[in-house]
């Protein structure tokens, strides 16, 4: 098996993982399965980043989207819904029609943007030094304040979510 064929197999495996995970995420009537489909799609995207030789982006994809966003959604489902409410959750015909219309409109806008954009051909990247060490140094020096502010905002959001949940549980809201 040639090297090009071997890498193409991995590319197509990642694409299949993304498409399958996305389909599970948007079609599953069970909320937890939908979140697992989302996590599967995010893992596939991380695989594509690895395929594109960008291990930092792959790691950030896993840490942020799978490790934080999907786990936060699972936490919200577990805290915010009773098992009875989760069992009653279903995709109705009204939501399905709305989802199809929205998807087709989004597809149309993206297709129009792809067709109308004048793509630049054959330009050298000229990226310079963008190694992982350089990226870490830049994040902690030039963008250090923004990096810290983002972490504070995320912490405040998590504290707010816990406070809202805590108050709801003590008021008898389920």
In a domain? residue 114? no
Is there a single domain that holds both residue 20 and residue 97? yes
Is the pLDDT reported for residue 47 higher than 70? yes
Provide the domain limits for residue 154.
129-174
CATH at 94:
1.20.120.1200
Round the average pLDDT of the chain to a whole number and report it.
Answer: 81
pLDDT at 54: 84
Is there a single domain that holds both residue 137 and residue 174? yes
Is there a single domain that holds both residue 13 and residue 47? yes
Cβ atoms of residues 20 and 14 within 8 Å: no
In the chain, what's the furthest Cα-to-Cα distance? 64
Cβ atoms of residues 14 and 48 within 8 Å: yes
Number of domains composing the chain: 2
Q: Tell me how far CA of residue 89 lies from CA of 17, 23, 74, 108, 168, in angstroms.
A: 26, 18, 15, 30, 20
In a domain? residue 84? yes
pLDDT digits (tens, 9 = 90+) for 53-105: 888 889 889 988 888 888 888 877 777 777 776 666 655 666 778 878 888 99
Is there a single domain that holds both residue 50 and residue 82? yes
Calculate mean pLDDT across residues 25-34. Answer: 84
Instruction: Tell if the pTM clears 0.95, that is, is over it.
Output: no
Is there a single domain that holds both residue 83 and residue 161? no
pLDDT at 107: 92
């Amino acid at each position: 098996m040639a090297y090009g064929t071997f890498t193409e197999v991995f590319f197509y495996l990642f694409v299949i993982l993304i498409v399958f995970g996305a389909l599970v995420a948007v079609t599953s009537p069970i909320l937890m399965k939908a979140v697992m489909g989302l996590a599967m799609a995010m893992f596939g995207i991380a695989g594509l980043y690895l395929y594109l030789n960008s291990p930092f982006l792959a790691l950030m994809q896993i840490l942020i989207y799978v490790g934080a966003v999907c786990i936060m959604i699972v936490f919200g489902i577990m805290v915010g819904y009773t098992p009875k409410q989760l069992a009653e959750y279903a995709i109705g015909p009204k939501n399905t029609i709305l989802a199809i219309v929205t998807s087709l409109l989004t597809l149309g806008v993206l297709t129009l943007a792809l067709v109308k954009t004048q793509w630049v051909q054959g330009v050298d990247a000229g990226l310079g030094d963008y190694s992982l060490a350089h990226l870490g140094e830049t994040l902690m020096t030039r963008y250090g304040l923004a990096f810290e502010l983002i972490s504070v905002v995320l912490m405040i959001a998590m504290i707010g979510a816990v406070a809202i949940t805590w108050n709801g549980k003590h008021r008898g809201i389920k």
